[in-house]
Amino acid sequence: MQRLGYCRLALLSLLGLAMAWTPSRALHAQTEMPREARIQSVLILRMVKFVDWPSKSLQAADALQFCTWGESPTEAALQSLQGQKVRDHEIVVRKLKPPFSTRGCHVVYVSNSVKDLTPGQLYESGSGAMLTISDMPDFGQRGGIITLVKQSNRIGFDIQLRYAREHGLQIGAPLLELAQSVN
């Protein structure tokens, strides 16, 4: 129980830092990005730290593949995560281009500029163990796992836990506790 409290405190601290912190080597590139996009990219990085992939999908020496789909300031801000590490996995960011295939992706950020998105488009062309994230208002109904939600001056998130489990992902309790809703 004490460990859960520590994990929750650590996550709250990390998410709080997401509101103000940007990686130092990417600071110059991000100063031209809108503040909300920078915050979302750091928040996504922090959330990924509380997700576990099956060992057959992400082995110890593998890079963590962040894939972006669509055009948005957040998609551009995610490019600054290139080369950073999450639990000893170096982040490799790549932009998906037509024909869209999510094969090899561990994290897929879908811009709200993408239209007519279906679960088949998200998952059929790639590996099953993918964390899908977007700020589309109805992303959870389209098969997405984490929906970023802007309310006032804050960015929260909803989690579709059943989709995460269907795709072999384990989402840590501290992240689940901070979600606005978990379905």
**Integer Cα distance of 137 and 159 in angstroms:** 13
pLDDT given at position 18 = 43
Q: Please tell me the total count of domains within the chain.
A: 1
- C-alpha torsion sign, points 92, 130, 140, 52: negative
pTM attached to this predicted model: 0.82
Q: Give the span between the Cα atoms of 161 and 141, in whole angstroms.
A: 12
**How many C-beta atoms lie closer than 10 Å to residue 116's C-beta?**
6
The two tokens of residue 73 are 């300031």
Supply the range of the domain harboring residue 78.
Answer: 2-182
SS3 66: strand
Rg of the chain over Cα atoms, rounded to whole angstroms, equals: 15
How much is the pLDDT for 125?
A: 64
Quote the pLDDT of residue 118: 80
Block mean pLDDT (10 aa), the chain, length 183: 45 44 42 86 96 92 94 94 95 90 92 85 76 94 94 93 94 97 96
What per-residue confidence (pLDDT) applies to 153?
A: 86
- pLDDT reported for residue 151: 85
CATH code of the domain in which 139 resides: 3.40.50
